[in-house]
Amino acid sequence: MFVLIGGLAATVNFLSRIFLNQFLSFSISVVVAYFIGMCIAFTLNKLFVFKEADSRTSWQAIMFVFVNLIGVIQTYLVSVALAEWLFPYWEVAWYPREIAHFIGISIPTITSYIGHKYLTFRRKKYTPITDVKGDLK
């Protein structure tokens, strides 16, 4: 479900970058679109993937932004490096910005999952209460 929701958020991210790129530079569009996709991802992950998380929504939102700051840095660096430097050097002419952005969006998938599982939507481990003899209470 995380991958499905991530795919939907990535699609929103990708399409909004194309739209925003009509009014903003490529690099700014990448960042703004990432945050649009991030809002979609937070809402859907909270509702459908990590619904049994024990932490408060405000804490989840803070950690979600923190984890995604790492993701947006990864996305930005990869997207801009490919679109502005490597693809022109390699003379890539077939949708270079779209390919660069798609690759950039894909990069933080694993780091985001790990960050959200263990930081944003973590679930506290159940520790049974025992008495002095070690018997469960």
Question: Which residues, including other chains, have CB under 8 Å from residue 87's CB and lie 6 or more apart?
Answer: 96, 99, 100
Dihedral angle over CA of 82, 87, 90, 95, nearest 10: 140
Query: Cβ distance 1 to 49 under 8 Å?
Result: yes
What tens-digit pLDDT sequence spans the chain (137 residues)? 888 998 999 999 999 999 999 999 999 999 999 999 999 998 998 888 877 777 788 888 899 899 999 999 999 999 999 999 999 999 999 999 999 999 999 999 888 888 888 888 877 665 555 555 555 45
In the 3-class helix/strand/coil scheme, how is 121-134 assigned residue by residue?
Answer: CCCCCCCCCECCCC
Which residues is 130 bridged to in the sheet?
Answer: 136
Q: Given this model, what pLDDT does residue 48 score?
A: 87
If DSSP codes are grouped into helix, strand and coil, which group holds residue 80? helix
SS3 content of the chain, % helix, strand, coil (to 5): 75, 0, 25
Q: Given this model, what pLDDT does residue 118 score?
A: 87
- Angle among Cα 85, 90, 91 to the nearest 5 degrees reads 100
Which residues is 136 bridged to in the sheet?
Answer: 130
Q: Given this model, what pLDDT does residue 77 score?
A: 97
Structure tokens belonging to residue 12: 């929103």
